[in-house]
Structure 1
Amino acid sequence: MAIVLGPNRYGKAETRVVRVTRDGPTHHVKDLNVSVSLSGDMDRVHLAGDNAAVLTTDAQKNTVFAFARKHGVGEIEDFALLLARHFTDSQPTIHHARVEIEEYTWNRIAHQDGPPRPHSFVRSGAETRTCLVHSDGTGGAESVVSGLKDLVVMNSTGSEFHGFIKDEYTTLPETDDRILATAVTARWRHRGDPDDWGRSYCEARGRLLDAFAGTHSLSLQQTLYEMGRRVLAGCPEVCEVRLAMPNKHHFAVNLSPFGLDNPNEVFHAADRPYGLIEGTVADDAGPTPGPAWE
C-alpha cells in the first residue's frame, strides 16, 4: 500500500490587530481578527522535517501588524487581498494564500449634552462582518467571499408553519401566527471586485434585512431563499449567497394554571435544541467548485 501526503496548509490563526488612525483629535478604529493559511512546496517539511520552504507563522503574524501600520486598514476585503498577494508574490515556495478576516465594529460614545466624543467608543452589538480571500498571487486566480455572522433578527408576527409531515413522534402543533427569530450567518461570493467593498457590503446587508422583514413566511426555508434572492437581484457583483439560519424557537407559555390566557403575548425563548436551516442561492452560472468557501 502506497502512503502519500495529501493536500495541506499551515498558517497563523486569529491575529488580533487594532489599528487606530489619528485624525487630529478625532480617532478612527479598525478592530480585526486575521487568520492566514499558506500552501505550496511543502512536501519536504512534512516528509523530512526540512523547513527551507517554510515562512514562519510568527512572520505571518508580524506581517499583519506591519501592513496595518504601512498601508492602514480600509475595507477588510482590500486588506485581505493585500496580505494574500504579498505572501504569494514574495515567497517562491508559497503558491496559494487564504486570508480570513472578522471585523468588530465600534461606535463613538455620545456626549450626554453634545456631539459624539472623538476618541471614545462602544462595541456595537454581536454582529460581525467577515471576509475570506483566496489568492494565487498578482495576476493569478483569486476569489473573495464577503459576509456577516450573528445578525440577530426577529419578526413578532407574519410567520406561519403548517402542512408538515406528521408521524407517531410529531408533537409540534401547526400555527398560523408565530415568532420567527434567527441569528443569520450569510456569505456571498463576488464575480469580480466591486467599485466599493463597503458600499457593496451595506447594500447586501440591507437587502438581507429588507427580505427578512418584508417576507410573510410560511417556513424559514422560504425566508432564507427570499433573502438570498433579494441580494442577487440587487447586487450584480454577487453571484452566489450561502446562508445558515438557526431557528430560535419561541414557544407560547401555558398560563392556564394561573387563571390567565395567553393570546400569543408571552413566550419561552428556547436555547436548545434548535432547528438549523442552511441553503445556497445562486445565479444561472451556479456554484463554482474550488476553495472559495473553505
Structure 2
Amino acid sequence: MPTILGQNQYGKAENRVVRITRDGATHHIKDLNVSVALSGDMDEVHYSGSNAHVLPTDTVKNTVFAFAKKYGIESAEQFGIHLARHFVTSQEPIHRARVRIEEYSWERTGNTAGGAAEPGHSFVRKGQETRTSEIGYDGERWRIVSGLTGLTVLNSTDSEFWGYVKDDYTTLEEAYDRILATDVSARWRHHWTSDETPMPDWERSYEQAREHLLQAFAGTYSLSLQQTLFQMGTRVIEHGDEIAEIRLSLPNNHHFLVDLTPFGLDNDHEVYAAADRPYGLIEATVLRDGAESLIPAEPAEL
C-alpha cells in the first residue's frame, strides 16, 4: 500500500535560557524553557534523507541564546515573536514557526551576610504557577496564546454541590458547605494577529488575567465547579479587551469530611481528608460573543 507524508515538524525542545539584566546593583532575571518547532518544505528530507532544506536543530538552540543577548527578554511573548519571525523570514523552506515557552518566576530576597544588605542580586524561586506562551507565525499572521499552569487555589467555604443526577451507583452525599480546591490551567488567545496593529502589553495583560482569575475564584459563591470556571473565564474576557477566548482546565481537588464519630468527636467542617486521585476534571472554553474558538482541548499541531 503506498504511503504519503502527513503533517510534520521539527525543532529544538526545552532550551533552558536564563537572562540576567544588570541595572547597577539591582539585577533582574528571566528564566525560560523555550521549545521551537518549524515546518514547511520538508518532504524531501523524509523521503530521501536530503538535508538541503533543514536548518540544524543545534542552530535553533544557538539562536535562542543569541537572541536572549541581542534582544533581551522583555516578555515571553515578545521573545517568542522575535524567534518565530526570524525563522520564517530568514529561511525560505520554513513556512511556519511555533514557539512554546514556560516561564519560571523568581522574586528578590535580601542578603544580609556580613551585616551589609544587598537586596539586588539574591533571588528565591516562586512556588506558584508556571507562565506559558505559545507563539505561532506563518509569515503573515500571528497566533499568540498566553496562559499559566499549576496555580493552586482553595476556598474553605462558599461552595455547595447538590441536586445532581443519582442512579444505582451513586454514593456521594450532597454537600451544602464544602472545600473547593483546584489547580488552574488556563490558556487565552489574543486578538492581535498582525504587525499592522499595535501589540498588546504582554506583561500587563498576563498580570491582569491572572488577577481576574483569582478574583473570580474567590468571589464566586459556587454551586458547581463548572459555574466557577465560567465566572473565571467571563471575568478575564470582560476585563481584557485584547483577549478573544480563554480555555480553562480545572481538576476538582476533593476534600472529604472525615467521620470522627467512632472516636466520640464531632466534625463541624473542620477536619478533611485530601484526595489527590481520582479527581473530577472540568474543562471548557469561554468566548467573547462573536469570536471563533481557535484554542483546542490539547495544544495544537503546528
Whether the TM-score (by the shorter chain) exceeds 0.5 is yes
Aligned to 1:165: 165
The answer to whether 1:195 aligns with 2:200 is yes
Shift in Å, 1:258: 1.3
Deviations 1:247-288 (A, max 9, x none): 000001111111111001000110111111100000123334
Aligned to 1:31: 31
Q: SS state of the match for residue 11, structure 1?
A: strand
Deviations 1:184-232 (A, max 9, x none): 0011000016531111111111111110000000000000001001111
CA contact (8 A) 2:189 2:295 kept: no
User: Structure 1: any 5+ residue segments left out of the alignment?
Assistant: none
Q: 1:271 aligns with which of 276, 284, 292?
A: 276
Q: SS state of the match for residue 174, structure 1?
A: coil
What is the TM-score with the length of structure 1 in the denominator? 0.95
Q: 1:293 to 1:284 in 2, by over 3 A?
A: farther
Aligned to 2:50: 50
User: Structure 2: any 5+ residue segments left out of the alignment?
Assistant: 193-197
Deviations 1:79-137 (A, max 9, x none): 00000000000000000000000110000113579977111100011311111010013
Aligned to 1:72: 72
Q: 1:186 to 1:211 in 2, by over 3 A?
A: same
What is the TM-score with the length of structure 2 in the denominator? 0.93
**Whole-Å Cα distance in 1 between the matches of residues 295 and 45 of structure 2?**
25
Range 110-119 or range 173-182, more displaced: 110-119
Aligned to 2:195: none
Aligned to 1:133: 135
**Whole-Å Cα distance in 1 between the matches of residues 91 and 278 of structure 2?**
47
Q: SS state of the match for residue 73, structure 1?
A: coil
**Whole-Å Cα distance in 2 between the matches of residues 106 and 73 of structure 1?**
15
**Whole-Å Cα distance in 2 between the matches of residues 290 and 261 of structure 1?**
47
Shift in Å, 1:238: 0.3
Aligned to 1:262: 267
**Whole-Å Cα distance in 1 between the matches of residues 219 and 250 of structure 2?**
17
The answer to whether 1:210 aligns with 2:215 is yes
Aligned to 1:148: 148
CA contact (8 A) 1:194 1:237 kept: no
Aligned to 2:63: 63
Range 279-288 or range 87-96, more displaced: 279-288
The CA RMSD measured in Å over matched residues stands at 1.7
Q: SS state of the match for residue 96, structure 1?
A: strand
Q: How many residues align?
A: 292
CA contact (8 A) 1:40 1:96 kept: yes
**Whole-Å Cα distance in 1 between the matches of residues 281 and 208 of structure 2?**
25
Identity %: 60
Q: 1:157 to 1:87 in 2, by over 3 A?
A: same
**Whole-Å Cα distance in 2 between the matches of residues 181 and 142 of structure 1?**
35
Aligned to 2:81: 81
Q: SS state of the match for residue 176, structure 1?
A: coil
**Whole-Å Cα distance in 1 between the matches of residues 57 and 200 of structure 2?**
32
Q: Which amino acid aligns with 2:162?
A: H
CA contact (8 A) 2:87 2:97 kept: yes
Deviations 1:36-90 (A, max 9, x none): 0000000000111111111111111110000001111111100000000000000
Q: 1:289 to 1:231 in 2, by over 3 A?
A: closer
**Whole-Å Cα distance in 2 between the matches of residues 116 and 201 of structure 1?**
29
